Amino acid sequence: MLATIKPLTSRKQEILEAAQALFSRKGYTDASMRDLAEALGIEPASLYSHFKSKEDILWEIAIRCAKAFNDGQEPIFSASLTPEIKLRNMIDRHIELMIDNINASAIFFREWHHLSKERHDDYAQMIIDYEQRFVQVIEEGMKAGVFKASVRPKFITSALLASINWMHKWYRPEGSMTISDIQQHMHLLLLDGLQS
């Protein structure tokens, strides 16, 4: 259901990358087209040779990010694995995708509500679809008896992704935690439980 994603001129790519960083840091509304132009060293009006509107920039970032997350998760979801291994792999993959798309990811789950009605509704569905894969694996695990029978899969998915998505607030590539450290800690907290 994802819209077709066209190849980009390098200028368009530059604009999108600057916009991702800016929208992520300041938020969509507080990041102005003037800010964006300044970050690129051009005049604001020049942006409109590449994108029809500010919202079009947000949309382009949003669908590319949704595609990255969906495509990245696809092989794991389609693989023939036990539910507990599959969920573990999906968490690991989600963390890797967060890190690979750290600026865009803020748009994936925070800034997309600024999209206009129709796009907003389409996008909400993409996010529901993404989350639904987690819900489904948890349900499989419950049936198989590897996850506790008392859980509500939707609640768990929400809480689990909220934990990981919060990474965009604190993650720094130069920080003390490697991807692997983060993945192990998330397993520990979200799968194995904190108590020894």
Contacts with DNA by CB under 7 A lie at: 9, 11, 31-35, 37, 42-46, 48-50, 52-55
What is the C-alpha separation between 57 and 16, in angstroms, rounded? 7
32 binds, among DNA, a copy of itself, none (CB under 5 to 8 A by kind): DNA
- Gyration radius (Cα) of the chain, Å: 18
What is the C-alpha separation between 129 and 135, in angstroms, rounded? 10
Least distance (Å) from DNA to the CB of residue 10?
10
- Out of 95, 106, 137, 190, the residue judged to bind a copy of itself by CB under 8 A: 190
- Which amino acid is located at 142 in the chain? M
Token readout for 38 is: 């300044």
Residues contacting 3, CB < 8 A, separation 6+: 63
Least distance (Å) from DNA to the CB of residue 16?
13
Least distance (Å) from a copy of itself to the CB of residue 156?
6
Least distance (Å) from a copy of itself to the CB of residue 190?
7
**Which window, 33-41, 55-63, 65-73, 185-193, contacts a copy of itself (CB under 8 A)?**
185-193
Window 110-169: residues binding a copy of itself (CB under 8 A):
114, 145-152, 155-156, 158-160, 162-166
Least distance (Å) from a copy of itself to the CB of residue 139?
13
* Phi-psi group of 41: left, alpha or beta (phi > 0 → left; psi -120 to 50 → alpha; rest → beta): left
Nearer to a copy of itself, 66 or 160 (CB): 160
What is the C-alpha separation between 161 and 62, in angstroms, rounded? 18
Token readout for 92 is: 């690991």
For residues 43 and 82, is the Cβ–Cβ distance under 8 A?
Answer: no
Query: What residues line the site for a copy of itself (CB under 8 A)?
Result: 27, 29-30, 84, 114, 145-152, 155-156, 158-160, 162-166, 170, 177, 182, 185-186, 188-196
